Chains A and B, each alone.
Chain A
Amino acid sequence: MTGMDDDLTPDEREALGRLPRESAPPRGLEDATVAALARRRLLRRAHRTLPIRPWLAIAASLLLFLGGVAIGRLGVTHQSAEGDRPRFALFLYEGPEYDQPAPEGMAQRVREYVAWATEWRENGVVEGGEKLRDDGDLAIEPDGRTDEAALVPGASRLAGYFVVQADDRRAAAEIARTCPHVRYGGRIVIREIEPT
């Protein structure tokens, strides 16, 4: 490739030569591209074996116990698509440490989450999920009062959830750790859904 015209002045050539040749791509575009290639079966995903941290195992055990009691009391029922595979809810929390995107970056952030969920859905892992609205919390207190200011400033807040199928809690944790939410400083709490 050649061919600058003589019409350019030396200053103009110099200015062109100083234009940056590279820009850092947005974080998440790499994962989204890999997921898109995997969906087209152009890439094979590398198997990732991720260690489960002791504190997470302890927390998950406790939550499993408490969660079983709570769900049983509410009588919520779900039918697993495969019937006998354990199902887990991944609760996504955002605290002060969560890296909130700028408004113009929100679409890209959502695409990353969608790419992640789509990839796992195609593998028969993710059943579904929702992002919760960032405003309009309403709490019903034990005495029947309603509280529209339920969000405590600075506290971790439930921002969304996914329902996944996994062989066991450790496998569910491995799946959760690949979620973009973790990379951005979010916390994911995993609770097994009580089979009913």
Chain B
Amino acid sequence: MSDDRVLADAVARAGDETAFRALYRRHTPALYRLALRLGGGDGPWAEELVQRTWIRAVEGLSSFAWRSSLSSWLGGIAINCARELWREARTRSETALAEEIPVAAPRVLEPEERVDLERAIERLPAGYREVFVLHDVEGYTHEEIGGLLGIESGTSKSQLARARQRLRAALAPAGWRSDWRNR
């Protein structure tokens, strides 16, 4: 949006609170949805991610070159901040991320276990969920994901294939449209 730049300039140059609030209200609903998906539906974690994303964004606004849209830039910052939060959590707990835990073979769930697509995404292991959300929901390429996450594009492809396999198992037999709820 053209006036994103005007607002961002006011924030970067003068620390204009009113301009920031306008930017916040325009872009945070999408950021918050992305944060919820990356965080597996964890609300407080998503809030922390959104706040950290905005702090990092405002710190870097004056050097943003506007070669992409502000929303794309914010999305990239959010992904990097998400990885920071995961690293910090891993350091605190000294436990491995789910992506490093051997994954059991997918199984077809019992009827009472069936969930809608959104919940099934939330329940993916962190490594699978991250790649799935970025590729199949946000539309990033494997090369872009590799650059964002610091992994090989081949790793991204294999993580995505496993994520889809898990989702199909979780949502079988009715498929991804079953039990859809617009939460």
Residues of A within 8 A of B (CB): 1-5, 7-9, 11-12, 14-16, 18-26, 29-30, 32-34, 36-38, 40-46, 104, 107-108
Give 1 or 0 for each of B44-64: 1 = CB within 8 Å of chain A CB: 100100110011001100000
Q: How many A-B residue pairs have CB under 8 A?
A: 118
- Is the Cβ of B20 less than 8 Å from the Cβ of A26? no
- Is the Cβ of A16 less than 8 Å from the Cβ of B136? yes
Q: Inside 8 A of A38's CB, which chain B residues have their CB? A: 17
- Is the Cβ of B55 less than 8 Å from the Cβ of A36? yes
**What separation, in Å, do the CA atoms of A9 and B29 have in the docked complex?**
29
Give 1 or 0 for each of B24-48: 1 = CB within 8 Å of chain A CB: 1100111111001000000110010
Question: A-B pairs with the 7 shortest C-beta distances?
Answer: A22-B29, A15-B176, A3-B141, A44-B15, A23-B33, A25-B32, A1-B139
A interface majority secondary structure: loop
Interface membership of B138, Cβ < 8 A: yes
Q: Inside 8 A of B29's CB, which chain A residues have their CB? A: 22-25
**What separation, in Å, do the CA atoms of A192 and B15 have in the docked complex?**
34
**What separation, in Å, do the CA atoms of A8 and B176 have in the docked complex?**
11
| Option from A3, A8, A29, A104 in Cβ contact (under 8 Å) with B51 | A29
A37 and chain B: residue at smallest CB distance: B58
- Is the Cβ of A7 less than 8 Å from the Cβ of B51? no
Q: Which of B58, B142, B183 has the most CB of A within 10 A?
A: B58
**What separation, in Å, do the CA atoms of A32 and B20 have in the docked complex?**
13
Interface membership of B160, Cβ < 8 A: yes
- Is the Cβ of B54 less than 8 Å from the Cβ of A37? yes
Interface membership of B88, Cβ < 8 A: no
- Is the Cβ of A8 less than 8 Å from the Cβ of B30? no
- Is the Cβ of A25 less than 8 Å from the Cβ of B15? no
Q: Inside 8 A of B117's CB, which chain A residues have their CB? A: 15-16, 19
Apart from the given pairs A3-B141, A21-B30, 17 other A-B contacts in the complex at a CB distance below 8 Å: A1-B140, A8-B136, A11-B176, A15-B176, A15-B177, A16-B137, A19-B118, A22-B30, A23-B33, A24-B32, A34-B17, A34-B20, A42-B15, A43-B15, A43-B58, A46-B18, A107-B44
**What separation, in Å, do the CA atoms of A18 and B176 have in the docked complex?**
11
| Option from A20, A37, A46, A104 in Cβ contact (under 8 Å) with B55 | A37
**What separation, in Å, do the CA atoms of A18 and B32 have in the docked complex?**
17
- Is the Cβ of A44 less than 8 Å from the Cβ of B50? no
Q: Say how far A51's CB is from chain B's closest CB, in angstroms.
A: 19
B116 and chain A: residue at smallest CB distance: A15
- 29 of the cross-chain contacts (CB-CB < 8 Å) are A1-B140, A1-B141, A1-B144, A3-B139, A9-B175, A11-B176, A15-B117, A15-B176, A16-B136, A16-B176, A20-B183, A22-B29, A22-B32, A23-B33, A25-B32, A25-B47, A26-B43, A29-B32, A30-B24, A30-B28, A33-B50, A34-B21, A34-B24, A41-B15, A43-B20, A44-B15, A46-B18, A104-B43, A108-B43
